[in-house]
Amino acid sequence: MQAMSDDYSDRNPELGRLYPDHIKTLCERHDHALENSGAAHAVIFSGCPKTVFLDDQQYPFKPNAHFLSWVPLVNLPLSCIVHTPGETPQLIYYLPHDYWHSVPGQPGGYWTGLFDIKVVHSPDDVAANLPEDREKCILIGEIDDESHAFGIERVNPTSAINILHYARGVKTQYEIACLRLASRRGARGHNAAEAAFREGRSEFDIHRAYCKAVSHADNELPYSNIVALNSHGAVLHYTNLEREPPDTLRSFLIDAGAQVHGYASDITRSYSWSDSRFSELIERMHSAQGDIVSRIRAGVNYSELHIETHRILAAVLVDAGIVSGDPDTLLSTGVTSAFFPHGLGHLLGIQVHDVGGFMENEAGTIIDPPSGHPFLRLTRDLEENMVLTVEPGIYAIDMLLDNLRGTAAENHVNWQGVEWLRPFGGIRIEDNVRVTADGCENLTRDAFTAVA
């Protein structure tokens, strides 16, 4: 990934200062996981490129998130971290001799001094540098080829994975610093995308403007950008990217992130082209989202906040003349779910939808989403230094609204209001926030201020 500045590079002094404590925390977590699983060594495999069926081309490489949490190396396949309690972590750094493709350079940066690095040039050399007592090892990673297990039989044991995934819900200060930088990078992209929208450009051209501003190729984005004009905003994961702008511009919804050393931002904004009523509705959604964010703090149950969000959005919909009724009735009859069908948010980190959101404890006990709300991805109580998204939305989705016909909910919908909203698609406002003991840090709003 091309660096825009030292903020995003291995020369960043703040990341170098915070990184040793991050590694100390990872070592402690893996010590606990190894003890619980009765193993002596953890081998964390970076992953292997996947080849297109009946072709010699490979899909863009996506590293194992467990590996990436140790080292900021987003493009280092066929490599391993070896952790043995009480010893310096070992990085087996695969550097092939290859003149067909570009290969990783020699290891360098703030992170190198904390590893025993062994540069090898063949998969056999990777295997030769692993612990000899393979029966005392566990391997963490995706294994499509048995040879990449290197003779280790215990792959992704639940006893260890549950501990690591539950712990990953709380971020280290190093991870939070990376997430702040990712938010700042994403904010630059969002500003560029809004400017392209105001110029009347197509979805494809807006997307390109975003990628240029964040200095990402498409495969470097943490997820495929959602760049939706007009009614496309009602498609929750719209990624078609029309090459020509529509004849009439009405609205713009963009859900797009950026990454720094694998840590992601996930930001959504909505805009009106010129319609004052839709602009007012967007402002109401900003206010509602701010109200929801103000309730974030350690100890809050996110499932309960998700349900309360439905009541808040019910008031927005009533105020906008799209539905009628009291919030509890609109919630119980399914009206709010038709307009807001997804979850309030999810954990964010080295993966956009980071692991551990459903876990009650490190044993892996699952907390189910509330009844009738299957798409909520975070159900545990919030803890200090969790990082998560807060993304309420309202949409005119015909498939869901049609389901209200012939039910008790039908008379609560102002169908003329739905007809007005439909050409605009919908509105989503999404911020990334860090939980604190008595509130939260809004990484997204701070980022927009910083890059203004």
Q: What are the domain boundaries of the chain?
A: 6-167, 173-451
Q: What is the pLDDT of residue 5?
A: 53
Q: What is the pLDDT of residue 3?
A: 41
Helix (H), strand (E) at residue 433: strand 431-435
Q: What is the pLDDT of residue 6?
A: 56
Q: What is the pLDDT of residue 11?
A: 72
Q: What is the pLDDT of residue 323?
A: 98
For 177, residues 6+ apart whose C-beta sits below 8 A from its C-beta are 14, 15, 18
Tokens of 54: 């009946």
For 41, residues 6+ apart whose C-beta sits below 8 A from its C-beta are 34, 82, 83, 84, 131, 133, 136, 137, 138
Q: What is the pLDDT of residue 4?
A: 47
The DSSP call for residue 40 is: S
Q: What is the pLDDT of residue 1?
A: 37
CA separation for the pair 420, 66 (Å, rounded): 47
Look up residue 438 and give its amino acid: D
CATH architecture, domain defined by 173-451: Alpha-Beta Complex (3.90)
Q: What is the pLDDT of residue 309?
A: 98
Residue 30 Cα distances to 60, 163, 173, 200, 384, angstroms: 29, 8, 18, 51, 21
CA separation for the pair 350, 345 (Å, rounded): 16
Q: Comparing C-alpha atoms, which of 223, 430, 281, 270 is closest to residue 344?
A: 430
pLDDT by residue, tens only, the chain of 452 residues: 334 455 776 678 899 999 999 999 999 999 999 999 999 999 999 999 999 999 989 999 999 999 999 999 999 999 999 999 999 999 999 999 887 787 888 999 999 999 999 999 999 999 999 999 999 999 999 999 999 999 999 999 999 999 999 999 999 999 999 999 999 999 999 999 999 999 999 999 999 999 999 999 999 999 999 999 999 999 999 999 999 999 999 999 999 999 999 999 999 999 999 999 999 999 999 999 999 999 999 999 999 999 999 999 999 999 999 999 999 999 999 999 999 999 999 999 999 999 999 999 999 999 999 999 999 999 999 999 999 999 999 999 999 999 999 999 999 999 999 999 999 999 999 999 999 999 999 999 999 999 99
Residue 443 Cα distances to 51, 177, 387, angstroms: 37, 10, 9
CATH architecture, domain defined by 6-167: 3-Layer(aba) Sandwich (3.40)
SS (H, E, C) 353-388: CCCCCCECCCCCCECCCCCCCCCCCCCCECCCCCEE
